[in-house]
Amino acid sequence: MHSWSQDQPLRLLEKSVAKNDPDGKAIACYGLYLPTANQMLLRFVTGRPLSWVTCAFLAWLAAHFAAQGKRALFLIWDNATWHNSLHVRQWVKAHNRTVKQEGGCRLILCRLPSKSPWLNPIEPKWLHGKRAIVEPTRTLSLPELIQRVCDYYHSDFFELITK
């Protein structure tokens, strides 16, 4: 980001959040990039990305694409811990078994080699999005942050997943 700064390079500093902040300390954004439509499907969760949240996101995606008549969704995934956990793998296996019996949208996971983010087509999207929405002088409120992300990616806001 130093290329666009006037005199001094832009420095982002980690800001602390008050313990009584109603927005909480963190928010995670799950996303699916559809390159053919140049579209992002986003879901937000309060807190860190965890296995149960990943399963909820996958269930939402499967229902979304099943409603469109799609029979399979191929996901290109990196090696994030919330992607590779035993809980997520078991959930995907059980989901696909249920879909085989009852119909719906199967999930086919294509794992990338370790430390190869350039192979994942969503990584540049995340990078440019983070740079576009950042506010170096202040901490954004949760609604403002969600709105900026949705506006940048031209995505609708779906419900916030909370613990």
Higher pLDDT, 38 or 17: 38
Band (pLDDT 50/70/90 cuts) for residue 5 is low
pLDDT above 80 (res 63): yes
22-153 belongs to which homologous superfamily? Ribonuclease H-like superfamily/Ribonuclease H (3.30.420.10)
Q: Which two tokens stand for residue 56?
A: 């909820």
Higher pLDDT, 149 or 2: 149
State residue 59's pLDDT score.
Answer: 94
C-alpha to C-alpha distance for 70 and 6, rounded to whole angstroms:
49
Nearest Cα to 31, choosing from 162, 124, 140, 118? 124
Higher pLDDT, 113 or 103: 103
The dihedrals phi and psi of 20, each to the nearest 5 degrees, come to -95, 15
pLDDT above 60 (res 1): no
Quote the pTM value: 0.78
User: Got the DSSP string for 84-121?
Assistant: H-HHHHHHHHHHHHHHHHH-S-EEEEEEPPTT-GGG-T
